[in-house]
Amino acid sequence: MLIKVPKTTALLEDQLIRLRPHLHKDSVIIAAGMIKHLQKSAFQCIEKIIGPLTTSLAKKKARLIFASLDEALEQPVSPYPTRYDETEIGLTLSNHANVFSREHLDLGARFFLTHFSEIPGVQRVVDLACGNGVLGIKYQQQAPDAQVEFIDESYMAVASTQDNYRSVFPDNDSASFSAVDGLSQTDSGSVDLILCNPPFHQQHVIGEQMALEMFRDSKRCLAQGGELWVVANRHLPYPAKLKQMFGNCRTVGTNKKFAVLRMVKR
Ligand SMILES: C[S@@+](CC[C@H](N)C(=O)[O-])C[C@H]1O[C@@H](n2cnc3c(N)ncnc32)[C@H](O)[C@@H]1O
């Protein structure tokens, strides 16, 4: 079994718990990772679920971990998906192992929600980069007739969104859920409103390019008069770039850390 050690130990734990029943005492288990990403918790996780391990010498800043199955270890029960109650917004959110803000509501999303009453009620809505779906679900609560499409590139995020949506709206089958790259599958001019708390980290890469690409594509997908609403860290240069793209960018609200921005496609 070959494993590339993922960034979050929760995801490694989830993967190992799923793989463990398929292993036997002669299985060869090799995990690999860049040293700077190999946390102590990753080693502990492998020892707890699989068994004893040894490591290779470092080569080009990477290391191999060799583990062998300890059949005496109890088969662990997966703690995923995990849930938390967000009493302030009246939701219980379920999250698979690799979902953004798996342990608590993101501060940016929390601030964004304080401005939701200012968002117009429209029909065709996309929760772009939906994570566990919190934004689209809250919008659906205030606009029951909207058709919300939830988009995230992560299958675990989309599965969490489906679970959360169905627990809040068991009888509403108007929403759709897509595990795709941004708006790559969305028709031009087909959307009235896009809500976005954009990604900032992509695996280990930090950059603004993904967010800017989502904003550009949002403009393509919005109908005339359609709106893009974004929450972002205030230190990011998004307002100027969004103004260039849309010809307008209104700051709806700010706190110490975040800004909520509203763009209209003219
Ligand atoms: C900052 S989180 C926002 C999650 C959620 N909307 C919230 O407010 O808690 C950004 C999300 O973007 C997703 N993402 C990253 N790259 C993406 C892409 N190319 N297409 C769609 N989603 C992407 C990540 O998986 C992550 O769930």
CATH class of residue range 82-264 = alpha beta
pLDDT at 207 over 80: no
CA of 18 to the centre of ligand 1 (A): 24
CATH class of residue range 2-67 = alpha beta
Comparing 2-67 with 82-264, is the CATH topology the same?
A: yes
Decide whether any atom of ligand 1 lies within 6 Å of the 213 Cβ: no
pLDDT the model gives residue 36 = 87
% residues pLDDT > 90 (the chain):
94
pLDDT band at 185 (very low <50, low <70, confident <90, very high): very high
Decide whether any atom of ligand 1 lies within 6 Å of the 137 Cβ: no
Give residue-wise pLDDT tens across range 22-75.
Answer: 999 999 999 999 998 899 999 999 999 999 999 999 999 999 999 999 999 998
Give residue-wise pLDDT tens across range 231-241.
Answer: 999 999 999 99
pLDDT the model gives residue 91 = 97
pLDDT band at 111 (very low <50, low <70, confident <90, very high): very high
Ligand 1 atom nearest the C-alpha of 109 is: 8
Among 116, 124, 109, 113, CA closest to 198? 109
CA of 150 to the centre of ligand 1 (A): 10
pLDDT at 201 over 70: no
CA of 39 to the centre of ligand 1 (A): 24
Can you name the residues that pair with 202 across neighbouring β-strands?
A: 205
- In this prediction, residues 192-218 reach a mean pLDDT of 85
Asked if residue 195 lies in contact with residue 126, where contact means CB atoms within 8 angstroms, the answer is yes
pLDDT at 249 over 90: yes
40-49 helix and 9-19 helix, angle to the nearest 10 degrees: 20
pLDDT the model gives residue 254 = 98
Task: Kindly report the backbone phi and psi dihedral angles of residue 156, in degrees, each rounded to the nearest multiple of 5, phi listed first.
Answer: -65, -35
CA-to-CA distance for 131 and 100, rounded, in angstroms?
Answer: 6
pLDDT band at 205 (very low <50, low <70, confident <90, very high): low
% residues pLDDT > 70 (the chain):
97
Q: What is the 3-state secondary structure (H, E, C) of 186-227?
A: CCCCCEEEEEECCCCEECCEECCHHHHHHHHHHHHHEEEEEE
Per-domain boundaries in the chain: 2-67, 82-264
pLDDT band at 7 (very low <50, low <70, confident <90, very high): confident
pLDDT the model gives residue 235 = 92
Provide the CB-side half-sphere exposure for 248 (13 A, CA).
12
Decide whether any atom of ligand 1 lies within 6 Å of the 192 Cβ: no
- In this prediction, residues 142-170 reach a mean pLDDT of 98
